[in-house]
Amino acid sequence: MKLASLLKAAKPETDIYVFYTDLRAFGKGFEEYYKKSQKMGIKFVRGKPSHFTENPFTKQISITVEDTLSRQVIESDFDLVVLANGMGLSKASDPIANFLKLAKSEDGFFKEAHPKYKPVDTLVEGVFIAGTAQGPKDIPDTVAQASAAAARVMVTLAQKEFKIDPILAFVDQNKCDGCEKCLENCPKNAIVMNGNGKAEVVEALCLGCGSCIASCPTEALDLHAYTSDQLYAQIDAILLNKPEGEKRILVFADNNCTYRVADALGVRKMKYTAETRIMRMPSSGRVTPNLIMYAFKKGADTVLIGDCEINNLPVPWTSKVGKENIEVAKKRLEEAGVQGDRIFFEEFNAGALQRFIDTVTNISETMKGLQPITSEVKEGLCQRK
Amino acid sequence: MKDNIKIPYFPGCTLKTTAKNFEISAIEAGKKIGIEMVELPKWNCCGVVSSLTSDDLMKHMAPIRNFVHAEEMGEQGLVNDKRMLILCSMCFNTMKSSNKRVKGNSEDMKSINDFMYLEKDYEGTVDVVHYFELMKEIGFDKIAEKITKPLKDLKIASYYGCMLLRPKDIAIDDTEAPTIIEDFVSSVGAEPIAWDAMSRCCGSYHTVNNTDIVVNLAKGIIENARKSGAEAIITSCPLCAFNLDNRQKLILEKDPNFKTMPVFYFTQLLAIALGLEEEFIGLDGNYIDPRPLLKEKNLI
Amino acid sequence: MPKKIKLTDNGAEFLKQIEKLSGETITMCDQCGTCSGGCPFVEEMDIMPSQIMRMTMLGQMEVLDSKTMWICASCFTCTVRCPRLLDVSKVSEALRQTKLRQAIDNINIDDISKEEAEELPSIAVVSAFRKFTS
């Protein structure tokens, strides 16, 4: 529209047609601009050109397009054709994205930490985005977003000390035997070996996802606020005094999606089967095979690991670890001679309320056909008492 | 790369009847460039047009049955290439679509195999390959080396039609900007011209009961070729060949000022360039006689 | 001539049937007209391919009486160009099949003379009868 207006102003004798699929003049003053272009005599035709041909000798370009409003096909010659392509993120951004480990959204632009509440933050702390790096936009919006980003940078720089989330992994130096298995199980490479040949967590890098914990054979690794002792105690409490003949689904709910779904269900007073018991986990990666086995030992009949859909995961790595852990647990159940499908995995988004209900209802149905695990078998499932 | 590709060959109906001259040129020219076409001992009609509704599994059975025979040929060691060579664009499209459908859907595959219980099961090991694709694999530069009679100064419009390029998952080249036929034309020493109607539909089966449509479309295609400097058109589809070549009779009836243009089957061009005998080129079968043009260029 | 149409349950059911038969989500159509602009047959049609999509979406069963679906020869030009990745050829086929399955053929063998028939290649005859008969 801008190019057309400029051309028309410079050369009023030019006959200009703008072909469009949909025209949305949404910003301040845009509608006026559109009207002005129409007043100048620029013709807007609703239809997407299907075919461009160039006469090999005269180089004249011909366009075939349906005018969808009059239901006629226009086939006509033009002296100049300007194509308006959709905007995309420059390929030059790839090295920056790789270096800073920035995520991109489905449209190919850099992803913001939250589209509504954190529109200029990225998932990497201290890195901010503005303008067309985040998505197509005009100059006023770019300036507004850039100002916001600058303000966020100021906030960061003004701090004398940088506060981080206290949910961090730690290593019990007495238990660690220096096997180094955990090193490759951290998406941020936040675990290093110290001078004593033992593992150590670099707290400034740790995301607190907990996906390193299952890799530690000596249980030296643990996560503040979700320590193994705390989690085992929770399982004890949840399954304490389970009445004879009743069954239990233990849901390990990831904090980002599944737990929010369960929370929203409660707020809205929506009902789901009373056999369900929910435990909040930082991520599906924190659900170690030992925890799953312990749940069965203490009387759970089925276990559901609820995760986020991968696109909504702050740390996508956790999904991979979570799934690996489940496979290990399934194998251990099978080896112990436990019958039937008892471990379920489901990915939710934060709005999947009905799907959560359906999932636990289905599991409850399946559970009706399952025999209780005998106490002898239960004993052998997990070393922890 | 094998020196001599021995490959199962599915002819389809038309190359065995009205367009026999196309097949001869393909077989004989193939021998010179290292393609030995071994016809399926048993084959049936592919159905010509691929069925497009979601509930029509049975219509995909005919194509699939041919793949069973191709697999058998492989097992019996009759061939050294387990794909299936097809010349006709419509057969190519239909067979490739059906193959893709059952290969991607084990349930469909099972239903079809159950229905054909008198045949061996189709294992899904056959891929469809078009003559153009096979030549590209051999290398158009290698083919150019074997040419004894380069078709110098002959300006050719490469007509793709619909079935080699659409839909996208069946296409042998880029849907909007293909080059494979032009590369072939260059390899036989002729000059490929750039034109617009290379993939515009010829009217297909409307030639049976709505010849006006075909006359309009064919005329437009031929005139576009002429306007762009072509002296002849080549195609790989026997139906396009019929519509563009034989239907020039009707175009002339409607417009006596229309200037005719010869239409070759692509393998005829290859056969000429390889210096084959005229009986293997089969120019008698072409409706618009291309011999005056070829004589003018000193090619026959 | 302008006319008023009613949006009915039968119409909605018709859309569902065509969507099922074609496997295409017709409500996704943006009415951009790319299909009509590229269609080599558009001058032979009474309504445009984009109108077929529109009428089907609104459940106007009169779409079945139009010539357009019979003129469409499944050349797939629209299919490869649709910005919404819809396959208009499949919708066209679904509409043809809807008619054909009521045992209403669109070709009469007696209309073709013996001379004409002998001249035609088998590929043309087989495809025409596949597309025009039930």
> Which ipTM score applies to this complex?
0.93
- Give the domain extent around C28: 9-102
Predicted pLDDT of residue A310: 83
Q: Which of A104-113, A243-252, B2-11, B126-135 has the highest mean pLDDT?
A: B126-135
Q: Which residues of A touch C83 (CB under 8 A)?
A: 21, 48
pLDDT in tens, C12-44: 999 999 999 999 999 999 999 999 999 999 999
pLDDT in tens, A115-141: 888 999 998 888 999 999 999 999 999
pLDDT at A313 over 90: no
pLDDT in tens, A39-61: 999 999 999 999 999 888 888 99
CB pairs under 8 A between A and B: 8
- How far is the C-alpha of A95 from the C-alpha of A8, rounded, in Å? 41
Q: What is the CATH number of domain B140-296?
A: 3.40.50.11810
- How far is the C-alpha of B141 from the C-alpha of B182, rounded, in Å? 13
Q: How far is B167 from chain C (nearest CA, A)?
A: 6
pLDDT at B265 over 80: yes
Residues of chain B with CATH 1.20.1050.140: 5-131
Contact C33 A64 (CB under 8 A): no
Residues C67 and C129 both lie in one domain: no
Is C114 within the bounds of a domain? Answer: yes
Q: What percent of chain B has pLDDT over 90?
A: 95
Average pLDDT score over residue span C121-125: 93
Residues C54 and C90 both lie in one domain: yes
pLDDT band at A103; cut points 50, 70, 90 = confident
Residues of chain B with CATH 3.40.50.11810: 140-296
- Best mutation target among B15, B21, B49, B87 (most C Cβ atoms within 10 Å) is B49
pLDDT at B1 over 70: no
Residues C88 and C121 both lie in one domain: no
- Best mutation target among A50, A52, A53 (most B Cβ atoms within 10 Å) is A53
Asked if C85 and C25 count as a contact pair (C-beta separation under 8 A), the reply is no
- Specify the 3-state DSSP secondary structure of A95: helix
Q: Give yes or no for B203 touching C (CB within 8 A).
A: yes
Read off φ and ψ for residue B155, nearest 5 degrees. Answer: -95, 115
Q: Give yes or no for A66 touching C (CB within 8 A).
A: yes
Q: Give yes or no for C83 touching A (CB within 8 A).
A: yes
State the DSSP H helix or E strand holding residue B266, giving kind and residue range, or none if neither: helix B266-273
Predicted pLDDT of residue B2: 62
- How far is the C-alpha of A207 from the C-alpha of B18, rounded, in Å? 73
Q: Which residues of A touch B196 (CB under 8 A)?
A: 53-54
- How far is the C-alpha of A121 from the C-alpha of A126, rounded, in Å? 8
- Best mutation target among A66, A71, A73, A85 (most C Cβ atoms within 10 Å) is A66
Q: B202 is written with which tokens?
A: 């010829």
* CA dihedral angle for residue B57, residue B62, residue B66, residue B69, rounded to 10 degrees: 90
pLDDT at A317 over 90: no
Read off φ and ψ for residue A56, nearest 5 degrees. Answer: -65, -20
Residues C74 and C127 both lie in one domain: no
Query: Rg of chain A's alpha carbons, rounded to an integer?
Result: 29
Q: B9 is written with which tokens?
A: 């060959």
Asked if B117 and B267 count as a contact pair (C-beta separation under 8 A), the reply is no
Predicted pLDDT of residue A114: 85
pLDDT in tens, B210-261: 999 999 999 999 999 999 999 999 999 999 999 999 999 999 999 999 999 9
**Nearest Cβ partner for C73 among B47, B201, B216:** B201
Q: Which residue of A has its CA nearest to C38?
A: A50
Contact A50 C36 (CB under 8 A): yes
Residues C70 and C113 both lie in one domain: no
Q: Give yes or no for A60 touching B (CB within 8 A).
A: no
Which of B61, B60, B63 has the alpha carbon at shortest distance from B86? B63
Q: Give yes or no for C45 touching B (CB within 8 A).
A: no
Please name each of the domains of chain A with its CATH number. Answer: 2-78 (3.50.50.60), 93-158 (no CATH), 172-225 (3.30.70.20), 234-381 (3.40.50)
Is C92 within the bounds of a domain? Answer: yes
Q: What percent of chain A has pLDDT over 90?
A: 71
- How far is the C-alpha of B230 from the C-alpha of B227, rounded, in Å? 7
Residues C72 and C116 both lie in one domain: no
Average pLDDT score over residue span A354-359: 95
Average pLDDT score over residue span A203-209: 90
Summary mean pLDDT of chain B: 95
Read off φ and ψ for residue B73, nearest 5 degrees. Answer: -60, -40
Q: What percent of chain A has pLDDT over 70?
A: 100
pLDDT at A25 over 90: no
- Best mutation target among C28, C31, C80 (most A Cβ atoms within 10 Å) is C31
Residues C89 and C133 both lie in one domain: no
Q: What is the distance, to the nearest Å, from the Cα of residue B11 to the centroid of all Cα atoms in its chain? A: 10
Q: C109 is written with which tokens?
A: 């063998």
Burial of A35 (0-12, 13-18, 19+ CB in 10 A): exposed
Structural domain tally of chain C?
2
Q: Which residues of B touch C44 (CB under 8 A)?
A: 213, 216
Is C4 within the bounds of a domain? Answer: no
Residues C95 and C83 both lie in one domain: yes
Contact A50 C83 (CB under 8 A): no
Q: Give yes or no for B213 touching C (CB within 8 A).
A: yes
Half-sphere exposure of A2 (CA within 13 A, CB side): 4
Chain B residues with CB under 8 Å of a chain A CB are 193-196, 227-229
Q: Architecture of B5-131 per CATH?
A: Up-down Bundle (1.20)
Predicted pLDDT of residue B279: 93
pLDDT at A228 over 90: yes
